[in-house]
């Protein structure tokens, strides 16, 4: 009898623990609407004397539409290039299992916000959402990312991801290659 009660409690604990790994910025799940947006996760960065670049991913689900949200922050002594997205823009992923995933831009034509600093660095920030179809979700949930290409209106950016981002300023290490494996269950 004692073990009959223990097993359901253990299952409930495991389920709650598994669900608690999701960190949402927004989580609305009602009969009228489903909207989920995970917290941003650092995917890549470059820090140099004259410029810094930070690339973040988060996942979004609006009703049945799933997408990856790309955020790029550029700081430079020179005015950074203007990043624009349109219907031809996409993110392409090469996965470690040698498969590829291509995610088209999901939105209206838009360009990054730029600000000019007088005594500081100039800044450019952009945010764009890219559609994940069922095949993309399936592939990204099974294999780590090896590299990616961000195709914007003006230029392409190629990133080769590192295994782990870790330093004393981060509370926990970040595993960029496993972003989708770890985060896709949050929008299922």
Residues with Cβ within 8 Å of residue 14, at least 6 apart in sequence: none
Average pLDDT over residues 76-98: 89
Q: Is pLDDT at 115 greater than 90 in this prediction?
A: no
Q: What is the pLDDT of residue 179?
A: 96
Is the pLDDT at 8 greater than 80? The verdict is no
List, in sequence order, the alpha helices (H) in the chain: 2-19, 134-140, 179-183
pLDDT attached to residue 117: 66
Give the per-residue pLDDT at 118.
63
Cα distances (Å, whole numbers) of residue 53 to 47, 142, 181: 7, 28, 24
pLDDT given for residue 145 in this prediction: 96
pLDDT surpasses 60 at 142: yes
Residue listed under structure tokens 């949930």? 141
Burial of 29 (0-12, 13-18, 19+ CB in 10 A): exposed
Range of the domain at 135: 2-187
* Number of domains the chain is built from: 1
Q: Is the per-residue pLDDT at 2 higher than 50?
A: no
pTM: 0.82
Residue 4 has pLDDT above 70, yes or no: no
Q: Which long-range contacts (CB under 8 A, 24 or more apart) does 87-90 make?
A: 88/151, 88/153, 89/128, 89/130, 89/151, 89/152, 89/153, 90/130, 90/151
Within 8 A by CB and 6+ apart from 162, the residues are: 44, 176, 177
| φ, ψ for residue 25, nearest 5 deg | -85, -40
Does residue 16 register a pLDDT over 80? no
**What is the average pLDDT value for the chain, to the nearest integer?**
85
Q: Which residue has the higher pLDDT, 174 or 80?
A: 174
In this predicted structure, what is the pLDDT of residue 15?
40
């Amino acid at each position: 009898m004692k073990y009959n009660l223990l097993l359901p409690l253990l299952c409930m604990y495991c389920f709650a623990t598994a669900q608690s790994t999701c960190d949402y910025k927004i989580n609305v799940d009602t009969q009228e609407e489903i909207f989920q947006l995970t917290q941003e996760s650092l995917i890549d960065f470059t820090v140099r004397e004259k410029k810094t670049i930070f690339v973040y991913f988060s996942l979004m689900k609006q009703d049945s539409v799933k997408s990856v949200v790309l955020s790029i922050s550029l700081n430079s002594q020179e005015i950074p290039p203007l990043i624009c997205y349109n219907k031809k823009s996409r993110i392409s992923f090469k996965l470690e299992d040698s498969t590829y995933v291509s995610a088209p831009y999901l939105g209206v034509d838009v360009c990054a916000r730029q600000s000019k600093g007088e005594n500081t660095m100039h800044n450019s920030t952009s945010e764009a959402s890219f559609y994940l179809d069922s095949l993309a979700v399936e592939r990204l949930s099974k294999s780590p990312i090896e590299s990616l290409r961000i195709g914007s209106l003006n230029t392409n950016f190629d990133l080769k991801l590192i295994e782990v981002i870790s330093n004393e300023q981060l509370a926990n290490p970040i595993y960029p290659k496993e972003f989708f494996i770890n985060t896709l269950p949050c929008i299922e």
